[in-house]
């Protein structure tokens, strides 16, 4: 049975301040809603992003006084749309922040929150080093939002490399899994498309990944190419390398149809790993 959902990804640039982030995101959100989108998706750190060497230091504030969160909630209420705020930086324990995403209902109310679980601590071949854990406090709860339109799982950026998280969300009934990101240009060119397609195929669900695009103040750049991928692995929309709004129509019936053809979610089995070892002789 066909059940269509009109969505839009807002492919925003990483902005150096909350004020600039609002100026970037709000007009896109207004335009997307005016074009008929029922649910909007924003990137990771859509409330602003800065770097200082290996450290990510986005502008942050307490949740109750966060300017970007408040501005986006106002848009959701004014335009009567659902909104997946990929993430903003919220003050956390000690001197660290939480990389926190939100699901906003058409009244502008917060349905739920997700704190990024897997933090981006990597050493890339081009010499770039990232230590998200220097400034970010990790989450430890996977999140599914049940809405009247769709059941949605929420992940963030580096989470994309952890297949077990996506599997758990799909097993909990997620028809769509959002993976908002500020994926680096280097890793994006190598892995972005194939990872998004793999997560969709192996979990027979839609993957919606709004990704920031362009340079980050302080160093680095985000890849863009916001993606909407079908349960069969087809790329339905690709945002390319410029800021803008990316629309897609999701036929949610494909989630059921694909699962009937390849019911892999029903075939998970518990197993143990047996290690067989032979000691090598050193000459």
Active-site residue among 116, 132, 205, 211? 116
- For residue 279, the 8-state DSSP code is P
Q: Which residues, 6 or more positions from 282, have their beta carbon under 8 angstroms from its beta carbon? A: none
The tokens for 159 are 């989470």
In the residue annotation, 157 being an active-site residue is answered as yes
Query: What percent of the chain is helix, strand and coil (3-state, nearest 5)?
Result: 30, 30, 40
97, 89, 102: which is closest to 42 by C-alpha? 102
Cα–chain-centroid distance for residue 122?
Answer: 19
Q: Which residues make Cβ contacts (< 8 Å) with residue 87, sequence separation at least 6?
A: 43, 44, 45, 46, 47, 99, 100, 101, 116, 156, 180
CA–CA distance, 38 with 157 (Å, rounded to integer):
23
User: What is the spatial distance between Cα 220 and Cα 50, in angstroms, rounded to a whole number?
Assistant: 9
Q: Report the interhelical angle of 67-79 vs 18-34 (nearest 10°).
A: 10
Under DSSP, is residue 240 helix (H, G, I), strand (E, B) or coil? coil
CA-nearest of 175, 177, 152 to 257 is 175
Q: Nearest 5 degrees, angle CA 146-CA 149-CA 151?
A: 35
The terminus-to-terminus CA distance of the chain in angstroms comes to 67
* Residue tagged active-site, from 9, 24, 38, 44: 44
Of 9, 157, 179, 205, which residue is the catalytic one? 157
Q: Which residues contact 234 (CB under 8 A, 6 or more apart)?
A: none
Residue 116: active-site member: yes
Catalytic residues: 44, 116, 157
């Amino acid at each position: 049975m066909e059940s269509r959902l009109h969505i839009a990804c807002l492919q925003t640039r990483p902005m150096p301040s909350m004020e600039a982030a609002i100026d970037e995101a709000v007009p896109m959100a207004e335009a997307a809603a005016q074009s008929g989108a029922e649910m909007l998706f924003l990137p990771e750190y859509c409330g602003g992003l800065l770097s200082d060497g290996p450290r990510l230091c986005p502008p942050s504030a307490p949740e109750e006084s966060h300017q970007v969160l408040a501005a986006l909630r106002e848009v959701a209420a004014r335009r009567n749309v659902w909104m997946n705020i990929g993430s903003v930086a919220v003050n956390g324990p000690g001197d660290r922040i939480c990389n926190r995403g939100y699901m906003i209902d058409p009244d502008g109310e917060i349905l739920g929150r997700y704190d990024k679980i897997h933090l981006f601590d990597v050493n890339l071949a081009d010499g770039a080093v990232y230590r998200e854990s220097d400034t970010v406090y990790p989450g430890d709860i996977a999140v599914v939002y049940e809405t009247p339109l769709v059941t949605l799982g929420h992940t963030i950026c580096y989470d994309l490399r952890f297949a077990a998280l996506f599997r758990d969300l799909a097993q909990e009934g997620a028809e769509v899994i959002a993976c908002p990101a500020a994926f680096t240009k280097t890793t994006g060119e190598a892995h972005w498309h194939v990872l998004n397609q793999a997560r969709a195929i192996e979990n027979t669900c839609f993957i919606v990944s709004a990704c920031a695009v362009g340079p980050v103040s302080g160093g680095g750049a985000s890849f863009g190419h916001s993606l909407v991928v079908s349960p069969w692995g087809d790329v339905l929309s690709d945002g390319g390398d410029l800021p803008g709004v990316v629309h897609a129509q999701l036929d949610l019936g494909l989630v059921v149809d694909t699962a009937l053809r390849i019911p892999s979610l029903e075939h998970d089995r518990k197993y143990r790993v047996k290690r067989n070892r032979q000691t090598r002789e050193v000459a």
